[in-house]
Amino acid sequence: MPLARSLSVTSLSGLEEWDEEFDLEDAVLFEIAWEVANKVGGIYTVIQTKARLTAEEWGENYFLVGPYVESNVRTQVELIEPTDPVLKRTIDKMNSSGCKVYFGRWLIEGSPYVILIDVAFTAWSLDRWKSELWELCDIGVPWFDREANDAVLFGFLTAWLLGEYAAQSEEPPHIVAQFHEWLAGLGLVLCRHRQLPVATIFTTHATLLGRYLCAGNVDFYNNLAQFNVDKEAGDRQIYHRYCLERAAAHCAHVFTTVSQITAIEAEFLLKRKPDIVTPNGLNVKKFSAMHEFQNLHAQSKNRIQEFIRGHFYGHLDFNLDKCLFLFIAGRYEFSNKGADIFLEALARLNYLLRVNQSDVTVIAFFIMPARTNNFNVETLKGQAVRKQLWDTAQTVKERFGKKLYESLLVGQLPDVSKMLDKEDFTIMKRAIFATQRQCQPPVCTHNMLEDSSDPILNCVRRIGLFNSSADRVKIIFHPEFLSSTSPLLPMDYEEFVRGCHLGVFPSYYEPWGYTPAECTVMGIPSISTNLSGFGCFMEEHIADPSAYGIYILDRRFRGVDESCNQLTSFLFQFCKQSRRQRIIQRNRTERLSDLLDWRYLGRYYISARHMALAKAFPDTYVYVPHEPNSTSGFRYPRPASVPPSPALSRHSSPHHSEAEDNDEDERYDEDLEAEKDRVNIRQPYTTPFKNKSSAVLGANGNSDSVTIIPRPVASFGKYLFVKEREIR
């Protein structure tokens, strides 16, 4: 029975068609962010992965604008001369006026053009520009805030770039400029103040104040309407940053954010309701391994098992074939990322597994970077012991094989009692004695600099999960990002994720959440929350997320203890699944990958740009509001067979079998299963290239399909873009 990903899985239809052709010939797109060719956080991933799709749509008229960082440029950017004469004149004029502006191609998929501005080179203008900012906007930036000073320099320089480009153009240009986050937001404010011919979009990926409030363990979502935002920002000494962010949000023609939950946050904290939600996507081709992801899971799982054999040497009293690998990864924000509730749920899961005498062992990995000074000696010793045992086994095997070979050469069956001599037994006994261990396997793989105050280790001490033989749940804290060159766990992040069984991300504050998205496109089930952008997005698109391996934890309408019980229930039900059910579930999870592909999600960015053009240039482009029908869009139905856990078993579900591999008689066909989902799926959306129609987003057109639109914050609308001469 084939278990590979079906080639027929395609992108989804979700929004309405563009009825008229939209000519991009005289329009230019500038996308401005501090993380262009400069990896700082998650926005870098958004821009990098989206670049190919946007470059296909806009062709030579697409430019990314970011800061010049020499170390990054050496490895990521090919510096060239501008091909656009207007842009060449613009850059030459700025360079002759005391700036340093570079032009090149970013060496990523799509090879987009980049304009990199040396912020430090114009630092001599900082005081003058800060004075101008105060006179224009009444925003004062303190001298000691280096990040805000960079934002001022970057903002004035990008506004200068856009203004100069407009001035150097022979005909009035139609410029679209999308600004990401507050660090780039000042350029937008200046564009509007100087009345430049620019259609502006401001995208916030997470509000400044929201991050600071949640980091302070505030009851955030229950008090959104009550916060005195000015006071809260002032108390945290970020009032000037908050003012820059809020000014950009209010000045933009179109204000967007990455998820519904962040849209609610922005409405209360920034005092403007976003016009449209633009979810973050991935280049699925990078992660999808057609027909091979199940094999890749098995290969990566074997590598993790090798690490486990060394880490738990001397206490390897559990069956690795009945061992489940869970993990949480990301920035070390103990409460925001949900590590606190995950640890508490693991303690409760351990109790349930022991009470029910389960033979399943759960190993939970915490991949969160923290301050360390080196690897733990005991952890390194474990891997050395494992390697020594392997070498011993290979030596004995070679000696055994040689004797067997010689016996067969003379035409005799070997005498098994003589195949292993005394020396062989001595070698094996010494190897066994080397595996004896007096202490428990370590929880942390490194020596922590702040061991006594570390939140994860303190919580482990409180719940008493010390990797003892009696515990069915083991914990491994790896306070360092994964690397294929590590002497301890030589795997990169993607390979590690593929080898795990379940990703657990019970975040309290997560504007989007790339970690569960990456799990999904690699076919790994995950647990997210309804306070994360990813969780909200999946709830909108999938009728029964858990059936597809997307478990949504309720942290918005339940208390902490109730949420913890729900998480424990998810984990316990997952542990009760048979191996066959997990394989089927992984197939289903991987089938959702097109939902997260930029081919699908990129259309929201396209819509935002069209909306901005219609608002900035109403004489050229016409925007006709239109309320979409409630039946337009798409929603994955619940699978007709094989429920996600034994607790919900039906007659057609795979039953649990002691002989896990003897499942030929089970009534499940992957091709048939994919065909059921295919009813509501259309052919992949292809971004229009230059000089092609930008018709996007079709309603399904199939009256039998189960459909619901992934609603934006404001109604999406129907856009008609008509050239001015056509109107006349």
Question: Any idea what the CATH number is for the domain that residue 295 is in?
Answer: 3.40.50.2000
Inside any domain, residue 588: yes
Domain region containing 95: 27-277
Single out the residue in 573, 595, 617 at which a domain terminates.
595
Among 334, 596, 365, 342, CA closest to 497: 365
* C-beta of residue 166 within 8 angstroms of C-beta of residue 193: no
Inside any domain, residue 177: yes
Q: What does the pLDDT read at residue 173?
A: 86
Q: What does the pLDDT read at residue 630?
A: 37
CA of 557: how far to CAs of 85, 365, 553, 561, in Å? 57, 28, 10, 12
Residue 15 pLDDT exceeds 50: no
User: Domains in the chain: how many in total?
Assistant: 3
- For residue 94, what are its two tokens? 């700025």
Inside any domain, residue 707: no
Element (H, E) at 79: strand 77-79
Q: What does the pLDDT read at residue 164?
A: 96
Residue 662 pLDDT exceeds 60: no
Sorting pLDDT into bands at 50, 70 and 90, what band is 508? very high
- Looking at the fold, whether 470 and 428 belong to one and the same domain comes out as no
| Amino acid in the structure at residue 105 | R
- Looking at the fold, whether 186 and 76 belong to one and the same domain comes out as yes
Predicted confidence (pLDDT) per residue in 231-270, tens digit: 999 999 999 999 999 999 999 999 999 999 999 999 999 9
Among 535, 489, 488, 490, CA closest to 511: 535
| Amino acid in the structure at residue 581 | Q
Query: Can you tell me the mean pLDDT for 466-482?
Result: 95
Quick one: 557 exposed, middle or buried, by C-beta within 10 A (0-12, 13-18, 19+)? exposed
Q: What does the pLDDT read at residue 25?
A: 67
Adjacent-strand bridge partners of 114: 64, 104
Q: Is the pTM of this model over 0.85?
A: no
- Looking at the fold, whether 76 and 141 belong to one and the same domain comes out as yes
- CA 477 to CA 466: how far, in whole Å? 12
**Does residue 329 or residue 5 have the better pLDDT?**
329
Q: What does the pLDDT read at residue 418?
A: 79
- Looking at the fold, whether 62 and 98 belong to one and the same domain comes out as yes
* Degrees to nearest 5, angle at CA 240 with 234 and 243: 100
Inside any domain, residue 18: no
Among 286, 249, 189, 222, CA closest to 559: 222
Sort strands 323-329 and 361-367 into parallel, antiparallel or unpaired: parallel
- Looking at the fold, whether 433 and 409 belong to one and the same domain comes out as yes
* C-beta of residue 540 within 8 angstroms of C-beta of residue 552: no
Query: Can you tell me the mean pLDDT for 615-644?
Result: 61
Percentage with pLDDT > 90 across the chain: 66
Residue 112 pLDDT exceeds 90: yes
- Looking at the fold, whether 232 and 266 belong to one and the same domain comes out as yes
| Amino acid in the structure at residue 643 | P
Adjacent-strand bridge partners of 287: none
Q: Which CB contacts under 8 angstroms, 24+ apart, belong to 135-143?
A: 136/190, 136/193, 137/189, 137/243, 137/247, 139/240, 139/243, 139/244, 139/247, 140/240, 141/240, 142/240
CA of 444: how far to CAs of 247, 477, 485, in Å? 45, 5, 19
- Looking at the fold, whether 106 and 180 belong to one and the same domain comes out as yes
Predicted confidence (pLDDT) per residue in 259-268, tens digit: 999 999 999 9
Single out the residue in 595, 611, 626 at which a domain terminates.
595
* C-beta of residue 502 within 8 angstroms of C-beta of residue 526: yes
- Looking at the fold, whether 302 and 426 belong to one and the same domain comes out as no
- Looking at the fold, whether 249 and 183 belong to one and the same domain comes out as yes
Side-chain-side CA neighbours of residue 604 (13 Å): 29
Adjacent-strand bridge partners of 198: 175
3-class DSSP assignment, residue 283: coil
Residue 132 pLDDT exceeds 90: yes
| Amino acid in the structure at residue 528 | S
Q: Per mean pLDDT, which range of 148-162, 363-377, 379-393, 701-715 is the poorest?
A: 701-715
- Looking at the fold, whether 366 and 397 belong to one and the same domain comes out as no
Residue indicated by tokens 């080196």: 374
Q: What does the pLDDT read at residue 683?
A: 40
Residue 121 pLDDT exceeds 90: yes
Residue 189 pLDDT exceeds 70: yes
Inside any domain, residue 601: no
Among 727, 724, 560, 718, CA closest to 624: 718
Q: Per mean pLDDT, which range of 196-200, 228-232, 596-600 is the poorest?
A: 596-600
Q: Per mean pLDDT, which range of 4-13, 148-157, 320-329, 416-425 is the poorest?
A: 4-13
**Does residue 544 or residue 630 have the better pLDDT?**
544
Residue 71 pLDDT exceeds 70: yes
Among 373, 359, 279, 313, CA closest to 42: 279
Among 635, 536, 646, CA closest to 584: 646
Q: What does the pLDDT read at residue 42?
A: 85
- CA 444 to CA 454: how far, in whole Å? 11
Residue 224 pLDDT exceeds 70: yes
Predicted confidence (pLDDT) per residue in 288-307, tens digit: 444 577 888 999 999 999 99
Q: What does the pLDDT read at residue 571?
A: 98
- CA 311 to CA 385: how far, in whole Å? 9
Residue indicated by tokens 């170390």: 71
* C-beta of residue 503 within 8 angstroms of C-beta of residue 515: yes
Predicted confidence (pLDDT) per residue in 402-441, tens digit: 888 888 898 888 887 778 888 888 888 888 887 888 889 9
- Looking at the fold, whether 297 and 408 belong to one and the same domain comes out as no
- Looking at the fold, whether 326 and 401 belong to one and the same domain comes out as no
DSSP code at position 490: B
Percentage with pLDDT > 70 across the chain: 81
Residue 4 pLDDT exceeds 50: no
* Degrees to nearest 5, angle at CA 85 with 83 and 86: 120
Sorting pLDDT into bands at 50, 70 and 90, what band is 677? low
Element (H, E) at 119: none
- CA 168 to CA 157: how far, in whole Å? 16
Residue 38 pLDDT exceeds 80: yes
* C-beta of residue 149 within 8 angstroms of C-beta of residue 126: yes
Query: Can you tell me the mean pLDDT for 656-673?
Result: 50
Residue 194 pLDDT exceeds 60: yes
Single out the residue in 398, 423, 439 at which a domain terminates.
439
Residue 315 pLDDT exceeds 70: yes
Torsion of CA 496, 6, 649, 558, to 10 degrees: 50
Task: Tell me the average pLDDT of the chain.
Answer: 84
- CA 160 to CA 46: how far, in whole Å? 25
Inside any domain, residue 660: no
DSSP code at position 652: T
Inside any domain, residue 680: no
Residue 634 pLDDT exceeds 90: no
Q: What does the pLDDT read at residue 124?
A: 93
Residue 149 pLDDT exceeds 90: yes
- CA 664 to CA 668: how far, in whole Å? 9
Inside any domain, residue 656: no
Element (H, E) at 584: helix 579-591
